[in-house]
Amino acid sequence: MARKVSFALDSWIRDLSNSSKGDVRDHHCGILLNLRLVQLDMSFLCAAIKFWNPQTHSFCFNNNEITPLPEEVGAIIGWPNDSPPCSPNLSEFFYKFFENFLGLEGRKISEIVHGHEVNLLKLIDHFRTMGRISSAHRIRALIFCLFCHYLFPHKSENYGFAPVIAIVEQCEVGRSPSLLCCGELLLALDDLKKDPSAPMTCCPYILQIWLMERLTLIAPPENMESYNTKSYCTRKRLYTSRFDDGWAQYFANKEFSIRWVVPWWHIERMMTSDDREGLTISGLWTLLMRQYGRKQVIPDRDTVRPTNRAIVSRSLKRWGDFWMAQPKLDVLDLDDCDATTSQFYKKWMSTNNATARAEYRVAKGKDSNRKRPLESETSYEPTPKRSKRNNASSVKDRLGPKVAPV
């Protein structure tokens, strides 16, 4: 039977001393050690991916749209959300990273690294069996393998992407992988929607945890303050195991409800922006406002899927500064969430015809102007009639006051 990285990595983790596990946690990677305890349900993931919409980069369940957001990915993997994003230079020569960051010699590098691919089994064997290796290099190698296996998986399980070493190096100095991980997840979901038989390179562990939390398939933790991803494995399941047809029937019958706010993720602020630079992350943020605890509404304009643009070396600093400068919106309590969607929104979302969508948008605006919400019913106000002068104001300006990033 051929060896697999999952088993080799699990064996390495089980043999770690408490001191070494503490070193991994000091790098914010303690949660990644526990992801090996999550039992993947591939039938569930395949059934859910059928509801993915590549045009809006979101899942559509019961006329409700939800999508993984960078802050949510950060909460699942236990990474601080106020850290600047990783911005690796993919044009650099990676041999130097493996030599300087992991302490590998030239001959050993040529055995392990082949272009942009890394043989993870050989890397694990080298750092587990060689005695004269510093503890720092050994921990870095383990974290590299965790990143390759759980956050940025290769189409072949026993291999990893060499550029991930640059991400690991940046994370060691305080940057966060959450934004890159979220972007890779959304792009991989696009590919799987086009070709369901394609390799699942969309960090399936993160995706399964996120979906089951959002679809209320797992009971809330008993202690929300001390919750972490390891507790996810011990929480009560609110579903029975199913095969492919069973999960398809489950989604078709709408046997679930959406948990709009996940209190034990402890997300207080979320970044908002209509523009996207470098990564194709959902641009229709007004469709996803309920993940902020706000009402889901028809956007002021329809947008087509943006063109993918590579992150080049000359734009790395500008890309990082752009994300850190985005305003953040407060996440409201669960009781403040609006659990309904208007008839106009449902009609708008069910059609791709531009003329029909424009008509529903106008009808929704007229209906909002006719109705005045009671103070006891909602804290939201209908969008006021805007003059032509104010027509150019951005969506994020209308969502709430701009607040400096925390």
- What is the structure's pLDDT at 348? 82
The band of 149, judged by pLDDT with boundaries at 50, 70 and 90, is very high
Higher pLDDT, 314 or 193: 193
Q: Does residue 404 sit in helix, strand or coil?
A: coil
pLDDT of 243 over the 60 cut = yes
pLDDT of 200 over the 50 cut = yes
Q: Does residue 271 sit in helix, strand or coil?
A: strand
- What is the structure's pLDDT at 302? 65
pLDDT of 146 over the 80 cut = yes
pLDDT of 220 over the 60 cut = yes
- What is the structure's pLDDT at 189? 92
pLDDT tens figures, 273-282: 554 433 344 4
pLDDT of 376 over the 60 cut = no
- What is the structure's pLDDT at 153? 92
Tokens for 264, please give them.
Answer: 């034990």
Q: What are the residue ranges of helices labelled H in 147-295?
A: 164-172, 178-194, 204-214, 229-232, 244-252
CA 176/CA 189 separation, integer angstroms: 22
pLDDT tens figures, 354-366: 788 888 888 887 7
Please state whether beta strands 328-330 and 64-66 pair in parallel, antiparallel, or not at all (unpaired): unpaired
pLDDT tens figures, 252-261: 887 778 888 8
- What is the structure's pLDDT at 150? 92
pLDDT tens figures, 160-198: 999 899 999 999 988 899 888 988 898 899 899 989 888
Which secondary structure element, helix H or strand E, spans residue 159, and what is its range? Answer: strand 159-161
- What is the structure's pLDDT at 241? 74
